[in-house]
Amino acid sequence: MSTDHGGPNHSKLDAEQRYPSLLQARRAVPDVLQFYGIELDTPAADHSSLIIPRVATERDILFDLERRFGARDPFPADPSQNTEAKMVEALRVMRQLPHKPVMFANHPARSATGLGAYGLDTPEEFRNWNDTAPDVLTGFEGAPGHQAGALNNDGTIDPTGARGGYGSYPTMGGFDQMTARLGGLWNSLLGEGRRWWITSTSDSHVHYTEGGSDFWPGEYSKTYVHATTDYADVLDALRKGRIFVTLGDLIDRLDLTATAQPGNSVTVGETLRLNNKNRRDVEVEVRVRQPRGDNSAGDRPQVKRVDVITGQITGRVTDRSADTNSTTKVVGRYDAGDWKREGDWIVVKHTLRDVDGPMYVRVRGTNTDELEPLPDAHGSNPWEDLWFYSNPIFVEP
């Protein structure tokens, strides 16, 4: 996706200079889908990836949205454009567009000062945004960019460097605490039944070999989307959660399915509705594939464990600052002694017994021995601590 940061009068600069460059790039590399978008200076919050549909009016759509709602776009600065009310207004406008964009909050806990001590982005804001435009604001960044913060320009470790630029409270296995904490905010949102998805981005500004803290796009962090090579289908997949994310090329394929009976099976982002009153068991199958080649560090990391995670859906919370879901648990931990091999694939099968209420199921995996992702100490080597996450499947009896 072609993105850029905002700033004073950036909307005008973007429309007049960057958009023509994007059109040129599309002509030069027609086989690569290149969306038009921006890393928006979100009113009263941190940044967000705003992805515009590939339509004839895409330039005008983004120009209008950034001009009216980019927190730093006015010159001179206008404090009234940097409020929670302005963000809600922006989402109301977006949801009424004939071609709706998709939006994900970026590095949501980067400004947190502790575990659950959030900064610019809060649980209340996410609930307000999602309530306003659930088909526009559909999730947040599970694994932030700037993952090379602990690497010197020659690839050696900087003992003072932090992954993701998380200086106050660290990432956990390279993932934001809002995603990585078992039973944390992501699970709280899912426990309300919200279709809330995670992504992973490179956020590439300056490569670590050039003195920055970044990998090239796709060099380390990848978001895989289940879609055809079509702009509309990719955007639909992002909107509906047909996504898994991975770091360091730990895997390159993940298929998660839930089946109640033959002919009643769904995959990531979908809802399994149990229609047989005599059967309440759900068969979960996880299939992951490890790449045949080396990753960009010259390694070939191995999956050591796959976790199956569930949580109950109990309805909307009364406390909109809630950031936990006590029903979340790891119902199965599988290693090489438990799974099956089918060629390049690792296959895990798990049965959810006697499902008697709405729930969700998701999976994650790692090349480490950590039962839960631990906070990343300064100087952590990003290539040695790798995780992947699926988005959830929902189950409704």
Of 208, 205, 200, give the one whose Cα is nearest residue 156.
208
Task: For residue 87, tell me if it sits in a domain.
Answer: no
DSSP code, position 250: S
Q: Give the DSSP H or E segment for 202.
A: none
Task: For residue 220, tell me if it sits in a domain.
Answer: yes
Task: For residue 22, tell me if it sits in a domain.
Answer: no
Task: For residue 15, tell me if it sits in a domain.
Answer: no
Tokens standing for residue 386: 């790798």
CB distance 87 to 122 below 8 Å: no
**Residue 355, pLDDT score:** 94
**Residue 261, pLDDT score:** 87
Is the previous residue joined to 76 through a cis bond, with omega within 30 degrees of 0? Answer: yes
Alpha carbons 226 and 16: distance in angstroms, whole number: 33
Task: For residue 112, tell me if it sits in a domain.
Answer: yes
Domain that holds residue 225: 101-396
Task: For residue 32, tell me if it sits in a domain.
Answer: no
Alpha carbons 285 and 354: distance in angstroms, whole number: 17
DSSP β-ladder status, 264-267 and 253-261: antiparallel
Task: For residue 206, tell me if it sits in a domain.
Answer: yes
CB distance 385 to 376 below 8 Å: yes
Query: Taking the alpha carbons of 293, 295, 300, 305 in that order, is the dihedral positive or negative?
Result: negative
- Partners of residue 50 on adjacent β-strands: 38, 103
- Overall domain count for the chain: 1
Alpha carbons 91 and 5: distance in angstroms, whole number: 19
Task: For residue 29, tell me if it sits in a domain.
Answer: no
The amino acid present at 199, given as its one-letter code, is T
**Residue 1, pLDDT score:** 65
- Partners of residue 198 on adjacent β-strands: 140
pLDDT per residue of the chain (397 residues) written in tens, 0 to 9: 667 788 899 999 999 999 999 999 999 999 999 999 999 999 999 999 999 999 999 999 999 999 999 999 999 999 999 999 999 999 999 999 999 999 999 999 999 999 999 999 999 999 999 999 999 999 999 999 999 999 999 999 999 999 999 999 999 999 999 999 999 999 999 999 999 999 999 999 999 999 999 999 999 999 999 999 999 999 999 999 999 999 999 999 999 999 998 889 999 999 999 986 656 899 999 999 999 999 999 999 999 999 999 999 999 999 999 999 999 999 999 999 999 999 999 999 999 999 989 999 999 999 999 999 999 999 999 999 999 999 999 999 8
